[in-house]
Structure 1
Amino acid sequence: MQRLLVLVRHGQSEWNLKNLFTGWKDPGLTELGVAEARGAGRALKAAGLGFDTAYTSELGRAQRTLTLILDELGVPNLPTTRDIALNERDYGDLSGLNRDEAKARWGAEQVHLWRRSYDVQPPGGESLKDTIARVLPYYCQEILPRVLRGERTIVTAHGNSLRALVMVLDRLTRDTILGAEIATGAALVYHLNADSTVESKVVLQPQL
């Protein structure tokens, strides 16, 4: 039985381009972001991968990325579930601020701590630990059972919400996950064993 799980980070957003903290704000994709999303679809098609079901967040940039991927795959009406559990990490008071503005306000060391620590929350926002605490139960209860039943599954989401899944799949620690980066438009292709461990992993870069 094939147990396929593919994770795709949304294409570049307008705020990625402007170096702004995005979180739960909802900017659209840039032209490059659209190209990355379509390129992810082309890469998946070239690899001969198809899907039975899809998941995405409540944020438009992830939803648009999924739409563009499915268009490239020729399955625009694939059954899709949207859930807030897959949203990006909430950056709270940092949301909408340029990273340099945030450093000027709170200091570079403090901003770095908020961005790269595991369990330190920015004011009004979530730590990576908080993000993982909402993403993983959803994955275990909703997504993983379908993958283990043989439903080929694609998830388009965000850098930090996907890091929560990568942490479990790749068996990373709270320290090693901090260095894990997922590029926009990159597709992480996992084949799982029956016990939910990883049989194989391949990273497909978007075909631009």
Structure 2
Amino acid sequence: MSILVLVRHGKTEWSSQNRFAGWADAPLSATGEQEARLAGQSLAAAGLRFDLCCTSYLSRATKTLEILLEELGQRDLPVERSWRLNERHYGALQGFNRAKMALQYGNDKVAAWRRSFTAEPPALPDGDPRLPCLDPLYAGIDPALLPRGESLEQAAARVAPWWRDFLAPRLGQGENVLVVAHTSSIRGLVREIEGLSGEEAAGFRIATALPVVYTLDAGLNVAGRRELTAGWSSRLRKFINKHKPGTRISWI
């Protein structure tokens, strides 16, 4: 048996500004740091220990992981970083306020780009400074692999090889692994773990800094799944996350 814990990063400064973050390096807010600290405390209270931790290239995830490890007393744990764990790339929407994009493109269209499994947002054009291939952080990666914009389906497909080639073998060896990433990359992992359809994957949600704990057998079948909450704030985030409006509203 092995344990896999999935944690979405804490709230960011861009969250309060209602902006599309995607691959932009939106920093954690003070609230997000506190959310991460409470999540780490809930992991420690549950007696969880890890052999390895994984995260994306984006600082909101790496900072969340740093706080979790501090609370767990495992700051020396090996860290595997992968660009495949980044959030979905929102293309030309990235950095802009959601409500303004709904006014510009129409609510239904932006809602589809956000919630439909297959709809693709407008791609970044050549020369756009937001292109990952122009960012030194991704200099060692084949530019052909780096997105200009992604649907939920494309983001999930980006995560699948990482699950297959890296994470699944480690879990198959009985290791306990902590992954701190983003809604879309976690969605991709959950799709692989639970065998979700495209429609089911599109409906997947995870609250900020709310650990989801999987117990997996030797065949990586799910033997157990639970969410850890610590105090009223995480319970409130869990409630709000599960009762958000559906696909018709694009700016929340």
Please classify the TM superposition score into its range, dividing by the shorter chain length: over 0.9
Asked which structure has the greater CA Rg, the reply is 2
| Residue of structure 2 equivalent to 1:70 | 69
Provide runs of 4+ in structure 1 moved above 6 Å: none
Please give the alpha-carbon distance, in whole angstroms, between the structure 1 residues aligned to 2:186 and 2:60: 14
Figure out how many residues of one structure are paired with residues of the other and give that number: 207
Please give the alpha-carbon distance, in whole angstroms, between the structure 2 residues aligned to 1:194 and 1:30: 39
**Residue-by-residue CA offset, 1:90-121 (whole Å, 9 max, x unaligned):** 00100011111101110101101100111111
Of the three residues 151, 174, 193, the one matched with 2:198 is: 174
Please give the alpha-carbon distance, in whole angstroms, between the structure 2 residues aligned to 1:69 and 1:129: 29
Matched, 1:32 2:56: no
**Residue-by-residue CA offset, 1:42-86 (whole Å, 9 max, x unaligned):** 000000100010000000000000000000000111100111010
| Residue of structure 2 equivalent to 1:86 | 85
**Structure 2 counterpart of 1:205, one-letter code:** T
What pairs with 1:111-190 in structure 2 (closer than 5 Å)?
Answer: 111-124=110-123, 125-190=149-214
Asked if the contact 1:88/1:159 (under 8 Å) is kept, the reply is yes
| C-alpha displacement of 1:205 | 2.3
| C-alpha displacement of 1:16 | 1.5
Q: 3-state DSSP class of the match of 2:35?
A: helix
Q: 3-state DSSP class of the match of 1:175?
A: helix
What pairs with 1:46-61 in structure 2 (closer than 5 Å)?
Answer: 46-61=45-60
Q: 3-state DSSP class of the match of 1:54?
A: strand
Say if 1:136 and 1:206 are closer, same or farther in 2 by CA, change over 3 A.
farther
TM (normalized to structure 2)? 0.80
Please give the alpha-carbon distance, in whole angstroms, between the structure 2 residues aligned to 1:136 and 1:44: 26
Q: 3-state DSSP class of the match of 2:198?
A: coil
TM (normalized to structure 1)? 0.97
The gaps in structure 2 that reach 5 residues or longer are: 124-148, 234-252
Answer 1 or 2: higher relative contact order, Cα 8 Å, separation at least 6.
1
Q: 3-state DSSP class of the match of 2:218?
A: coil
**Structure 1 counterpart of 2:213, one-letter code:** V
| Residue of structure 2 equivalent to 1:198 | 222
Q: 3-state DSSP class of the match of 1:88?
A: coil
Asked if the contact 2:174/2:218 (under 8 Å) is kept, the reply is no
- Please, what is the CA RMSD of the aligned residues? 1.0
**Structure 2 counterpart of 1:190, one-letter code:** Y
Q: 3-state DSSP class of the match of 2:103?
A: helix
**Residue-by-residue CA offset, 1:12-41 (whole Å, 9 max, x unaligned):** 011122111000001111111001111111
| C-alpha displacement of 1:168 | 2.3
**Structure 1 counterpart of 2:81, one-letter code:** R
| C-alpha displacement of 1:206 | 4.3
Percent identity reads 43
Asked if the contact 1:41/1:206 (under 8 Å) is kept, the reply is no
